Chain A
């Protein structure tokens, strides 16, 4: 039996997350380069779109099923998935670097006596080894890392690896009932936050900084975000001042993001902020001070009064979107 590489999928409320398709596609590509068999594994209760994974070069999908697995349980998922990985002689696991993946992957690594490289932005095979590239110092630098353990775990940064459709699209779906799972630690409920979109998952982000002058002016940021279908972000200065909640903070002690479009409004661009957002595909900066560091990473900028520009920009976006 050939050794296996497993894509560890993530479901919420019975639906696979986008990063799961990226993990599946990545695992399938690595399987070819390393001459391994590939499988996808998910812990859950009922997962409705499992068959979609078959389009990403995966021959077999295994659902580790228990009615208590509809919500995340770190102890339960860790035990079920690591037991399965041992059973099938998995030598490599690919996990999405989400909140769940960040909790689960290192635990699986310990159970499998394996090392674990987090938040990879590139995985490539060189002389039979997987070489991972990952950001450090919130993106101020990058390292290439190799694991020396027999089993290897990698988490992949969402939105970086492509979920590529593959020719052979017929995966067998197998359900494995997990009896008496370990529920020592479990999620009992979820409190949805007020914001519509999370900066960690958004494709477009509109962020405000101290140049917004006060929390009451963030309605301008919210209107633009609404028009763009974007998430609202914030600089550390305004979070520390209590104008915006911490979950919106972008930068070294907040979230590191790489959306398609990042609009920085009234943000000067402290080094900690730039570290967290400079890998965005396109950056727009609007700031009164034309010498602000934010313009050094921006693709397009307007060096003017945010309060005059934002309402006009919002209207123009609405026009083009309608």
Chain B
């Protein structure tokens, strides 16, 4: 079976965001980019799925963007993914633009299942998996914390408010992964060495004009530091009074 895992290349979560001069993007100076943290769960699940099915299964890591994205593809290859595909586009794409490119590639590769991180930690839209699935006519279960594949039958648990929904569906499908689904493996030294010999195919991403336009980007109004009321439990009475009378939240 052909399995896809879609990865994005994002600023490290420790990044302090600065707005760029165009006020429509962030200032990339000094920003470290990493594989999107949720995509590591997707890579792990794709590899586990391959190991379970066995045979001549093959896992492709696909990413949409510029040359820098190869770094995150390489990371997936080092974890054990077989081949990489970079769908090149140096201009920024919205989620729909990314999904169109991915759907096109998943279809041409003939992947029956694709794993995505549940969201990228940059734009946080958390829709690329669902949109790609709808474009392909695939089933889709997002935000998955438990996944079972039995033949073509899928039983997945997805995290929702107050618990988990158990969803039944079947292949072909897209699964978006949430923390808790698995423990992503570390890339071993051997894996890192092997990844250098693996292929990353580069091709132009399918054409698309973005559906959305960013008009402005700004930082949240900075909050004024509040009052330190004390250093021990003698401050508790005042705290409770303030919460009750000033903030009126209790």
Contacts and interface: CB of A to CB of B under 8 A. Distances in A.
Interface of A: 72, 74-75, 78, 98-100, 102-103, 105-107, 109-111, 114-119, 131, 135-149, 184-193, 197-198, 200-201, 204, 228, 245-247, 249, 252-254, 256, 260-261, 270-272, 278-279, 281-284, 290, 295-305, 308-309, 312-313, 316-317, 320-321
30 contacts: A102-B126, A102-B127, A105-B127, A107-B140, A111-B134, A116-B211, A119-B125, A138-B124, A140-B16, A141-B19, A186-B167, A186-B169, A190-B166, A201-B161, A246-B179, A253-B121, A271-B16, A272-B14, A283-B226, A300-B226, A300-B227, A302-B230, A303-B230, A304-B230, A304-B231, A308-B233, A309-B233, A312-B236, A313-B236, A316-B236
A253 to B, nearest CB: 5
Contact of B125 (A118, A261, A270): A118
B160 interface: yes
Contacts, number: 260
Contacts of A261: 243, 247, 249-250
B189 interface: no
B143 A99 contact: yes
Interface in B153-198: 157-170, 178-180
Interface string B44-59: 0000000000000000
Contacts of B169: 184-186
A247 B215 CA distance: 34
Contacts of A249: 179
Given A74-B140, A137-B11, 7 more contacts: A74-B141, A118-B127, A145-B212, A185-B139, A271-B14, A302-B230, A320-B240
Contacts of B214: 143-145
Contact of B228 (A142, A192, A302): A302
Contact of A313 (B26, B142, B163, B239): B239
B109 interface: no
A240 to B, nearest CB: 9
A245 B164 CA distance: 13
B124 A137 contact: yes
A138 B121 contact: yes
